[in-house]
Every structure is written in C-alpha cells, then in structure tokens.
Structure 1
Amino acid sequence: MKNVHSLIACKKGAAAAEMALVTPLLIIIMFGIFEAGNFFWNQHIVSTAVRDGARFAARNPLSEFAGCVPSASVVTATRNVTRTGRVAGGTPRIADWTDGTTTITVTSPCNSTTTSGIYVNYPAGAPVVNVTATVTYNALFNNLGFTTTNLSMEANAQAAVMGF
C-alpha cells in the first residue's frame, strides 16, 4: 500500500506528460498561422495585380475604346499585366495562376456624366474599365490535410480611361 501512495505522489514525469498532450495542439496552431498568412499574402498579390491591370488599361488611348468597348489588344494586354505584371506575359505572380483558373473581364461602360475636357467627344461620359480576377487558392500544406478545393481569392478594381 505504501508503494501505491508513493507512486501517486511522485511528480517526476508530469512535465513530459503535459508536453505530450499540448504539443499536437501547438503544432496545429502553428500550421494554421502559416496557412492563414499565406492566404492573406496571396490575396494581397491578387488585389495588387488587379489594380495594376485597371491602371494599365485606363492609360491606353481613348481611341482603343471606340464605342465604349475595349479593343482586343487592350483586353489581352490587360490580362497579361494583371496575371504576370508584363504586357507580353511571362511567369504568373502566383504559381498556379493561369488563364484557365482565372477569369478577367475588361469592360468599359460609359457611365459617367463627365463630358468635358478629354471626354468632350464622348457624350455618354467617360469610359470606365473594370478588371476582375478570381484565382483558386492552393494551400501550403495541401498534403497534410489542409484541402482548399473550394477556396478562391477574388479582387476587383476600376479606373476611368484617361487616354495617356
């Protein structure tokens, strides 16, 4: 009976047992923080890319927006600038960002009432370019069970065409 009491009163392995119980939770929290940070970083990249595309499209000549419809060359160049950061295309800003996983639309409805200055020949108003991108998010730890098959990042930006 004395041996049982001394065994129960012994505290020699308590710290190791507590650490064994807490370590899996700490590892899960750490992986979650890395994954959330990566998601927010990729969302920032997509938002910045869409703004770059809208600014690029807005600085094309007004003649490229005849009838308030962007020319095919403006649409292609804007898609390239948005996805890769270069007019001619190249390596995408996010590894799996392809035209197949991305929808980028460039439209320019004449929805402004400004008809003076550089828009004097546009009685319907200033052309406005809208650029939208939807990119599928791929998790850092996809092989560890963090599946993100339905998770995507979306961004939208618009700018009035200035024709520089």
Structure 2
Amino acid sequence: MIRRIRQLLRDRRGVASVEMALMTPVVFALMFTCFEGGYYLWTEHKVIKGVRQGARYAARLPFTSYNCASTAPTGTTDIPLDNIKNVVRTGLPSGLAYPKVKGWTNSDITITVSCDSSTTTGLYKGVTGGAPRVMVSTVVTYPAILGLLGFDTGNVKVRAQAQAAVAGV
C-alpha cells in the first residue's frame, strides 16, 4: 500500500491539466477585467470628446443666442438648444446618428452660460453683459459589459464637462 502511494506521488502525468484547471478562473477574471477597463476608458474618452465638441459648437454660435442676464442660452428658433445637445451626443446637429454611448440621451446633457463682465474689450466690445462662456456637462450611465453577465453596474457613471468662450463667429 505504501509503495503504491509513493508511486502515485512520483507520477507527473496530468500535472499540466491540473495546473490549467486551477489557473483558468484566474485567467478569465484577468481577461474580463482588462476588457471592462478598456471599455470604460473608451466610453469615458467618447463622452469627454463629445462634451468638448459640443462646447466648441456652442461657442461658435452668434452672440445673440446668449443672454447674460440668464444662466442658459436663449434657445432661439434659428439655433435650438437641441442642436448643441445632439452635437454632444451624436456629433451631428440634426442628431440623425446613433449616440456615441449606448443609452445617452439629450436629457443627460446640461448647458449653462456665465458671463465675465470685466471683459469688454476686443472681440467682446459692444457685447451686452461682457464675454459669455458656455459650459456643457453630462452624466452618463456606463453601459458595462459585466452588466450583461448579471452584475449590478447601474451606479457606475461617466461624467464630463467642457467650457468655451463664445466667439460669435
């Protein structure tokens, strides 16, 4: 009996199979962590770029689109606020494209305007209230890959904001 146990302990056949069986869960965990981390960074990049693009678009609108007495663009009929939000979300003023991030809606985007009344020279000479600055911000629910596997990822958010001085081009 002892001889049989010693033979069994010296036998190295099947060691690779056992090692593979032990390491497979660790490898899959690392793999999914890398995929999820990369997807989060890609999603964050798209949200940041979208907000920056929307702020730049809003900054090129005419001065008449902004009222320094309020905290929001006036939303004139020639330049509706939805165009700015569509540029942030889809990259097109018409919004006739898929959103850059799944589940991103116009209601997730906030546009505010602040005015620097101390700046009344140069480009802003003659602009009532001073230099308007537009701030575009958003909070998007992250569409996690692990959410498809049943994990609760509803509280994971991607936030971004960008500010641009209105040039009135």
The CA deviation at 1:123 is 5.7
The question of 1:89 aligning with 2:95 is answered: yes
What CA distance in whole angstroms lies between the structure 1 residues aligned with 2:142 and 2:159? 10
Q: What is the match of residue 29 of structure 2? A: 28
Q: Which digits, 9 at most, give the CA deviation of each residue in 1:95-130, with x for residues without a partner?
A: 221235x1x221211125221122112364210000
Aligned CA RMSD, in angstroms, stands at 1.6
SS at match of 2:83: helix
Residue 5 of structure 1 deviates from its aligned partner by 1.0
How many residue pairs get matched?
162
Name 1:62's counterpart in structure 2. Answer: 63
Tell me how far 1:150 sits from its aligned partner: 0.2
After superposition, residues 95-134 of structure 1 pair within 5 angstroms as 95-100=102-107, 102=108, 104-111=109-116, 113-122=118-127, 124-134=129-139
Q: TM-score, normalised by structure 1?
A: 0.91
The one-letter code matched in structure 2 to 1:70 is P
Report SS of the residue matched to 2:160: strand
Name the counterpart of 1:37: 38
1:39 CA drift (Å): 0.5
Distance 1:32 1:106 in 2: 34
Identity of aligned residues (%): 41
CA contact (8 A) 1:57 1:74 kept: no
Give distance in 1, aligned partners of 2:143 and 2:155: 10
State the distance in 2 between where 1:147 and 1:138 align: 11
Q: What letter corresponds to residue 127 of structure 1 in structure 2?
A: P
Higher mean C-alpha deviation, range 53-62 or range 132-141: 132-141
Aligned residues of 2:63 and 2:127 also touching (Cα < 8 A) = no
Task: Find runs of 4+ consecutive structure 1 residues off by over 6 angstroms.
Answer: none
Residue 116 of structure 2 aligns to a residue whose secondary structure is: coil
* 1:112 to 1:160, Cα distance in 2 relative to 1, 3 A: farther
Mind listing any 5+ residue stretches in structure 2 that lack a counterpart? none
How far apart, CA to CA, are the structure 1 residues paired with 2:106 and 2:112? Answer: 17
